[in-house]
Structure 1
Amino acid sequence: MKLIKCHTHKILLCFVFLTACQDSKPVYENKNALYGKNKNLVKLISDSSFSIHLSDSAIISESIQFLEDKDKKYVIFANYNKTALEFYNLKSGGLEFRYHFENNIRKAAGFYVHNMDSIFIYSDGLKLLLLSDLNGPIKTYDLSSAINDTKVMACSPMISASNSFYLIGDTLLYSGFKAGEPPTLSSPPRFYSAKLMLKTGSVKNLNKYPEIYNGHNWGGLHFREPYVTYNPEKQIYISSLPASHDLIITDLRTDTETAVCAGSNFVDKISSLDQPVSRDKIDKVVINKFFYKSGSYRNIIYDKYRDIYYRVVEYPSDEKEIDMYGLSDKRIGIIILNNKFEIIGETKLEHGESVWTYFVSPDGLCMLNYKNDNEENAKFDIFKLTKI
Structure 2
Amino acid sequence: MMKPITAFCIIFIPLLFILSCNNSEKAFVNDNEFTLVEVDTVHIPIDTVTTPYDISISHYTDDRSKIEYLILMNRKNNSLQFYDWATQKLYKTVSLEREGPNGVGGALSFHFQSWDSIYVLASYHYRLSLIDTTAKVKQKYRLLKTDMKLDEGRVSRPQGEYSALPSSNYMNPLIKVGSFIYMTGVPDLNINSLEYYKKGRIGIQLSLENGQIEYYKDYPQMYRDKYFFPPQYITKFSSTYIPNKNKIIYSFPIDENLYELDLKTGNINAIIPDKSQYFKELKPISKKADRDMNTDYLYSVNNVSYERIIYDQYRKVYYRFTNIPNTKKKDEYDNQPYVVHSVVILDENLKKLGETILNERYTVGYHLCLPDGLYLQKYNFSEDEIAFVKFTLKN
- TM-score of the superposed pair, with normalisation by structure 1: 0.82
- Whichever residue aligns with residue 9 of structure 1, its letter is L
- Equivalent of 2:386, from 374, 378, 386? 378
Task: Tell me what 2:16 maps to.
Answer: 10
| Map 1:45-60 → 2, pairs under 5 A | 45-60=37-52
1:288/1:81 Cα in 2 relative to 1: closer, same or farther (>3 Å)?
A: closer
Q: 1:101 aligns to what?
A: 96
Assess if the C-alpha contact under 8 Å between 1:354 and 1:367 holds in 2.
Answer: no
Match of 2:61 among 34, 51, 68: 68
Measured in 2, the distance between the counterparts of 1:264 and 1:324 equals 29
Q: 289-298 vs 353-362, which deviates more?
A: 353-362
Please tell me the residue identity of whatever aligns with 1:267: F
Distance change >3 Å, CA 385–CA 355, structure 1 → 2:
same
Give the structure 2 partner of residue 21 of structure 1: none
Aligned-pair identity in percent equals: 22
Gap change, CA 1:352 and 1:319, over 3 Å in 2? closer
Q: Secondary structure of the residue that 2:222 maps to in structure 1?
A: helix
Quick check: 2:319–2:344 contact (8 Å CA) kept in 1?
yes
Trace 1:133-152 onto structure 2 (pairs within 5 A): 133-135=132-134, 136-145=136-145
Q: 1:186 to 1:336 in 2, by over 3 A?
A: closer
Cα pair distance change 1:202/1:264, threshold 3 Å: same
Aligned residue type for 1:376: D
Give the aligned length. Answer: 348
Once the two structures are superposed, the pairs formed by residues 244-283 of structure 1 within 5 Å of their partners are 244-262=255-273, 263-273=275-285, 275-276=286-287, 279-283=288-292
Query: Which 10-residue stretch deviates more, 314-323 or 345-354?
Result: 314-323
> d(CA) in 2 for partners of 1:126 and 1:305?
36
CA distance in 1, matches of 2:244, 2:170: 20
In structure 2, distance between residues paired with 1:324 and 1:45: 31
Deviation at 1:338, TM superposition (A): 0.9
Name the CA shift for 1:239/1:95 in 2 (closer, same or farther; >3 Å). Answer: same
Q: What secondary structure does 2:308 align onto? A: strand
Aligned to 1:116: 115
- 2:27 corresponds to which residue? none
After TM superposition, give the deviation of residue 307 of structure 1 in Å.
Answer: 1.4
Q: Distance in 2 between matches of 1:285 and 1:80?
A: 28
Residue 292 of structure 2 is aligned to residue 299 of structure 1: no
Which has the higher mean CA deviation after the structures are superposed, 256-265 or 325-334? 325-334
| Matched letter for residue 293 of structure 2 | K
Within 2, Cα distance between the matches of 1:373 and 1:289? 25
Corresponding residue SS for 2:32: coil
1:242 correspondence with 2:253: yes
Question: SS of 2:248's equivalent?
Answer: strand
Aligned to 2:344: 335
C-alpha contact (below 8 Å) 1:59/1:80 kept by paired residues: no
Matches within 5 A, 1:114-193: 114-135=113-134, 136-145=136-145, 155-178=164-187, 180-183=191-194, 187-188=198-199, 190-193=200-203
Give the deviation of 1:359 after TM superposition: 0.8
- 2: CA distance between counterparts of 1:186 and 1:265? 29
Relative to structure 1, is the Cα distance of residues 323 and 101 closer, same or farther in structure 2, using a 3 angstrom cutoff?
A: closer
- CA contact under 8 A between 2:34 and 2:354: conserved in structure 1? yes
Evaluate the alpha carbon distance shift between residue 60 and residue 158 of structure 1 in structure 2; reply closer, same or farther with a 3 A threshold: farther
Q: Secondary structure at 1:305's aligned position in 2?
A: coil
Tell me if structure 1 keeps the 8 A contact 2:52–2:383: no
Contact 1:226/1:239 (<8 A) preserved: yes
CA contact (8 A) 2:254 2:281 kept: no
Deviation, 1:256, is 1.3
User: Cα offset for 1:271?
Assistant: 2.1
- Which aligned pairs between 1:341-380 and structure 2 lie closer than 5 A? 341-370=350-379, 372-380=380-388
Q: 1:208 to 1:117 in 2, by over 3 A?
A: farther
Unaligned runs of 5+ in 2: 1-12, 18-30, 149-156
Q: CA deviation at 1:342?
A: 1.3
Give the letter for the 2:272 counterpart.
Answer: C
CA distance in 2, matches of 1:225, 1:165: 16
- Write the distance in 2 (CA, Å) between the matches of 1:125 and 1:290: 30
Residue in 1 that maps onto 2:20: none
Contact 1:129/1:143 (CA < 8 Å) preserved in 2? yes
**Runs of 4 or more above 6 Å deviation:** none
Give the structure-2-normalised TM-score.
Answer: 0.81
AA at the equivalent of 2:33? L
Work out the CA distance in 1 between the residues paired with 2:195 and 2:122.
31
Unaligned 5+ segments in structure 1 are 1-6, 12-38
Q: Is the CA contact 1:54–1:377 (under 8 Å) kept in the aligned structure 2?
A: yes
* Alpha carbons of structure 1 residues 185 and 205: separation in structure 2 relative to 1, 3 Å: closer
* In the alignment, structure 1 residue 92 sits paired with structure 2 residue 87: yes
Q: Is the Cα–Cα contact under 8 Å of residues 63 and 159 in structure 1 kept in the other structure?
A: no
After TM superposition, give the deviation of residue 252 of structure 1 in Å.
Answer: 0.9
Q: Distance in 2 between matches of 1:84 and 1:133?
A: 13
Shift of 1:235: 0.4
Q: Give the counterpart letter for 2:71 in structure 1.
A: I
Distance 2:60 2:220 in 1: 33
Residue 363 of structure 2 aligns to a residue whose secondary structure is coil
* Structure 2 CA distance for partners of 1:9 and 1:281, relative to 1, 3 Å: farther
Give the residue type in structure 2 aligned to 1:137.
Answer: V
Matched with 1:196 is: 206
Q: CA RMSD in A?
A: 2.6
